[in-house]
Structure 1
Amino acid sequence: MSKLSTVVDRRDAKLSMAHLYVGYVAVLIGAIAGLLQTFVRSGAITLPAGIGYYQLLTAHGILLALVFTTYFIVGFLYAGMSRTMGRFYDLPYRLGWLGFIIMTAGTVLTTIMVLLNEGTVLYTFYAPLKASPWFYIGLTLFIVGSWVAGFGMFRQYFIWRRVNKGKLSPLFSFMAIMTMVLWLVATLGVAVSVIFQFIPWSFGWVDTINVLLSRTLFWYFGHPLVYFWLLPAYIAWYVVIPKIIGGKIFSDSLARLSFVLFLLFSIPVGFHHQLLESGISPFWKYIQVVLTFMVIIPSLMTAFSLFAMFELSGREKGARGLFGWVKKLPWGDARFFAPFMGMLIFIPAGTGGIINASNQLNQMVHNTLWVTGHFHLTVASTVALTFFGISYWLIPHLTGRTLTKRMNLFANIQTILWTVGMFFMSGAMHTVGLFGAPRRTAYTTYGDHPDALGWIPYEVTMAVGGTILFIAVLLLMYIVVNLAFFAPKGVEEFPIGEVAEAAERTPAVLENWRLWIAVSACLILLAYTIPVIDMLEHSPPGSTGFKLW
């Protein structure tokens, strides 16, 4: 392994950029589908050539919420591990490329099925909606490819641990491994559902499917997916932002503990997405709601660490008064401004998440556009803005170029446009959701007549927000292409913060992977074993005994 430097190895950089290229192509296609969606829903246009609203909805959800995020996360984590642990060894490097190839094959296959209208089953692909078996095979390849990439990271990490016995692993790399462990454990649910339920059913090998079990396995995956999106953003907040603002990481041990808690409490909580579904005991719903609220603890720990870091950095620069440190933050630096706007948006997003997970409050907003608005605040705002902010320095770093003042200005404008556009779109979704407007529908009212546009002022507001967001996407594409191919040659910093001298020493137990994975497995077994056995024993008509279908 080459000597550790402040620059990602050129070989590793090409692997990371390959992931970013595919991710941003997905952003462009998904954004086009999203724009058309908002216009159709507002009644402004009628789609030509038989293109369906739900076809666009499926493409928009899969390409942006799954394809873009996963490709970006894998590319970012590979780059960060190379930066903090040194050049990847040959086997982990080859696994990274193999994972990329398998993921891309699955992505292309799934996207083709959606575009051919053979996979119009929405982002959640709930049964009894049925797609072409090749749609599900593409999803399987996508998941397996991400596993292979994760195994490459695991191998690199444990080789480093073996070579550097007794040393604390770099914080970035520890967080990267925790993120991929969470992803691996979470995707087991959707993999089981797709391989053993949907593929046999879609090929016609079996006649029926256990719908409740399929939905349960999806949400076993669906909720930790949110934290798979969020944890890389948290990595940037914990590790990268301190360096950008000229501060230091508040506490290494607090950061690691928060990630351990996210692993423990973000997976065994899928039932809070199924609070209104029959067939699940209220007792087990209650247990998982309690576990859901436990995730608030590491979220508050993160908020405390970040704002403590901001204040300490500001005080060192001479800030006075209660909020004097705010003036010392680098507001003109897009590397900071975009992620910070994501942090601020996460405050109402987190509040909405508490509402969604509360049994009584969920009764009002369940399956309304409120929930869609919530997702647009979390993944489409907090996560997306942080990922964009990372891209503004990561892409030029990996391509050997620099972030110019002009591109920095455009990046700040893009951040403002995205924030304003999402304010209109998500705000309208939340508002109309409180009035009862349903989600996942092409119509704007419950009425029997499709032309009864009872929510038209809000639908127009969504269309306005969607238009602003699409302009922001076009500007984003211009910035990404410029930073990848046309920006001046040079060296852009890959910022990695240092831990404050006054921070407590990190306990070795936080890197005891066997312990934390075992505790996570126990919580999952506690939350799911009896309910799943009950679903298998009480299969719906058409299936008998312990069958998945």
Structure 2
Amino acid sequence: MSFIYVAFISLFIGGLMGLLQVLVRSGSFTLPWGIGYYQILTLHGVVLALVLTTFFILGFQYALMGKTVGISDKQRKVSWLAFWIMTVGTTITAATILVGKASVLYTFYAPLKAHPLFYIGLTLVIVGSWVAGFVNWRQLYVWKKAHPGEKSPLLAFMVTINMLMWFIASLGVAIAVLVQFIPWSLGYAETINVLVSRTLFWYFGHPLVYFWLLPAYMAWYAIIPKIIGGKIFSDSLARLSFVLFLFFSIPVGFHHQLTEPGIDPTWKFIQVVLTFMVVIPSLMTAFSMFATFEITGRRKGYGGLFGWLKHLPWKDVRFLAPFIGMLAFIPGGAGGIINASHQMNAVVHNTIWVTGHFHLTVATTVILTFFGITYWLIPHLTGRTLTKEINRLGIIQTFIWTIGMTIMSGAMHIQGLLGAPRRSSYSDYGGTEQAAEWGAYQMAQAIGGTILFVGIVLMVYIFIKLTFFSPKGEEEFPIAEEEEDAPATPMWLENWKLWIAITIALILFAYTIPFVDIIQNSPPGSPPFDWPIGNS
């Protein structure tokens, strides 16, 4: 619950910063008290993309692990240590941004330089998350020692995969911060290798997307079936899809750097191919989920081609919110294919299309699923119930969010195709005709963003109601069982040494030669402030 408290505080603060951004870009609002646009843009990105997601995910995963494999008193104490390290780091970073010493966006690209405390705070957040991951791995290890020869609980397996991916990926950003940014910001290094720093960031930045996404997949695979009265379609398929995400989510960071010089095009091509491999586990997940929906509906007697679809529990917000998140992932995934495709990426790179894509994936697919989890997890943890009134409010909140995001993200996608840059506060560009056209889409973004902020306020109200004021009682922790006639899960799926070895081999293959080439051939360093930044 402490992790989730921080997540919802972050939701409100980050959402408010997002509202201010779209109002500024509409051209009808000026920030008061000398607050800078890039100051609120940085706070929005850091607090929502890093703090909200990480804290919610770790809290959710602790709940899953405690329910499936248990947690000892010693593990719980170490978990509290992880929480406080992360909370202190978050406070330091947020304070540095708020006082205007770190307006470097959540990607903190060099040669933009922040106060050293910004980087130190981020380091503490990462280190704290590692401590949390070590606890999760220890939990599964202790369970397996007590249950030799048994397959691990599915959700515990999934949490272990996600924290493995997070640990391996976050090594990149940790190295960049500790070796490059902190010495540079403290004045111990006069220059910084920009290409190395960006490469290390995107080694982390792309799997970060899957660190957000896989907890949503956990809910889709193992919790949603229980909510709709069904069973898990295939335990083996679910585990295999997570193993494939571990393989193909990390060695693909170059597809975020397709327009950057200094990286050999051959290696860009190889990483683009590896990027597209994640389509396989994504399609496996879609197949599994809709198989579950159809089997459950037909088992309940609903015939016809789509009879099962009409009779899904649409009035249950625990199902409705994640299902709309699933649907949003269809255009979100299509946009991701465009972003990772060399020629099409050239059309949308560094335009506000990319911002619209992020808001379809993490801010719709992931966040709506997290909201759906909230409706049963919070009352379960606090000993309260999900009432009909809160369920109805949740449905209203889900539609408010969907409408607001459709308007805002849609306008961002269209304006991006017209060439509007991302990371920019300006509301008019080019000639009068272009300025008028872009202004219409920016006004649409402001309208959508305002609707979204109403949805945030309502969600925070629902969270407070579920936590403190809902009637006392017991709420189910819905974990589904596997279909009775599903094939047995092969034990080789839990060959952790093999999966880790393959992951490391793929990373070494995709990064070793190009990274050595970057270090040997890139310029010696960039002056911190008078270096031309361009649109980076």
TM-score bracket, shorter-length normalisation: over 0.9
1:425, 1:452 → 2: CA distance?
18
Quote how far apart the aligned CAs of 1:53 are.
0.6
Quote how far apart the aligned CAs of 1:208 are.
0.3
Equivalent position of 2:7 in the other structure: 23
1:103 aligned to 2:86? yes
1:438, 1:300 → 2: CA distance?
32
Equivalent position of 2:470 in the other structure: 487
1:402-443 Cα distance to aligned partner (Å, 9 max, x none):
000000000000000000000000000000000000001111
Q: Which amino acid aligns with 2:502?
A: V
2:95, 2:436 → 1: CA distance?
33
Equivalent position of 2:449 in the other structure: 466
Q: Is the 8 A contact 1:61 1:122 kept in 2?
A: yes
Say which SS state the counterpart of residue 338 (structure 1) adopts: helix
Equivalent position of 2:22 in the other structure: 38
Quote how far apart the aligned CAs of 1:321 are.
1.1
1:149 aligned to 2:132? yes
Quote how far apart the aligned CAs of 1:91 are.
2.7
1:466, 1:446 → 2: CA distance?
21
1:542, 1:152 → 2: CA distance?
40
TM alignment of 1:442-481, pairs within 5 A = 442-447=425-430, 455-481=438-464
1:420, 1:323 → 2: CA distance?
25
Quote how far apart the aligned CAs of 1:447 are.
3.8
Equivalent position of 1:357 in the other structure: 340
Q: Which amino acid aligns with 1:39?
A: L
Equivalent position of 1:314 in the other structure: 297
2:522, 2:263 → 1: CA distance?
13
Identify which of 52, 57, 60 aligns with 1:73.
57
2:437, 2:422 → 1: CA distance?
15
Identify which of 153, 158, 171 aligns with 1:188.
171
1:237, 1:506 → 2: CA distance?
19
1:90, 1:190 → 2: CA distance?
32
Equivalent position of 2:210 in the other structure: 227
Quote how far apart the aligned CAs of 1:454 are.
5.0
Identify which of 223, 236, 240 aligns with 1:253.
236
How many residue pairs get aligned? The number is 525
Q: Is the 8 A contact 2:173 2:200 kept in 1?
A: yes
Q: Which amino acid aligns with 2:14?
A: G
Point out where structure 1 has 5 or more consecutive residues left out of the alignment.
Answer: 1-16, 544-549
1:194-222 Cα distance to aligned partner (Å, 9 max, x none):
00000000000000000001000000000
Q: Is the 8 A contact 1:268 1:523 kept in 2?
A: yes
Identify which of 237, 240, 250 aligns with 2:220.
237
Identify which of 402, 405, 426 aligns with 2:388.
405
2:512, 2:339 → 1: CA distance?
24
Q: Is the 8 A contact 2:206 2:253 kept in 1?
A: yes
Quote how far apart the aligned CAs of 1:536 are.
1.1
Quote how far apart the aligned CAs of 1:539 are.
3.3
1:193, 1:238 → 2: CA distance?
35
Q: Is the 8 A contact 1:444 1:454 kept in 2?
A: no
2:257, 2:380 → 1: CA distance?
43
Equivalent position of 2:198 in the other structure: 215
1:528 and 1:348, CA in 2 relative to 1: closer, same or farther beyond 3 A? Answer: same
1:261-294 Cα distance to aligned partner (Å, 9 max, x none):
0000000000000000000000000000000000
2:471, 2:300 → 1: CA distance?
32
Say which SS state the counterpart of residue 455 (structure 1) adopts: helix
Overall identity of the aligned pairs, in %: 65
TM alignment of 1:33-182, pairs within 5 A = 33-86=17-70, 88-182=71-165
1:509 aligned to 2:492? yes
Quote how far apart the aligned CAs of 1:472 are.
0.4
1:345 aligned to 2:331? no
2:515, 2:227 → 1: CA distance?
47
Q: Is the 8 A contact 2:102 2:118 kept in 1?
A: yes
Point out where structure 2 has 5 or more consecutive residues left out of the alignment.
Answer: 527-536
TM value normalised by structure 2? 0.97
TM alignment of 1:272-291, pairs within 5 A = 272-291=255-274
1:470 and 1:537, CA in 2 relative to 1: closer, same or farther beyond 3 A? Answer: same
Equivalent position of 2:316 in the other structure: 333
Q: Is the 8 A contact 1:19 1:72 kept in 2?
A: yes
Quote how far apart the aligned CAs of 1:445 are.
4.2
1:84-141 Cα distance to aligned partner (Å, 9 max, x none):
113x112321221110000000000000000001111001100000000000000000
1:211-267 Cα distance to aligned partner (Å, 9 max, x none):
001000000000000000000000000000000000000000000000000000000
Q: Is the 8 A contact 1:240 1:497 kept in 2?
A: yes
Q: Which amino acid aligns with 2:102?
A: G
1:453, 1:278 → 2: CA distance?
34
1:540, 1:105 → 2: CA distance?
36
Q: Which amino acid aligns with 1:441?
A: S
1:181, 1:243 → 2: CA distance?
27
Q: Which amino acid aligns with 2:198?
A: R
Equivalent position of 1:11 in the other structure: none
Q: Is the 8 A contact 1:438 1:445 kept in 2?
A: no
Say which SS state the counterpart of residue 223 (structure 2) adopts: helix
1:514, 1:349 → 2: CA distance?
33
1:484, 1:342 → 2: CA distance?
24
1:2-48 Cα distance to aligned partner (Å, 9 max, x none):
xxxxxxxxxxxxxxx00000010000000110001110010111111
Q: Is the 8 A contact 1:95 1:151 kept in 2?
A: no
Quote how far apart the aligned CAs of 1:328 are.
1.8
Say which SS state the counterpart of residue 480 (structure 1) adopts: helix
Q: Is the 8 A contact 2:27 2:427 kept in 1?
A: no
Q: Is the 8 A contact 1:438 1:446 kept in 2?
A: no
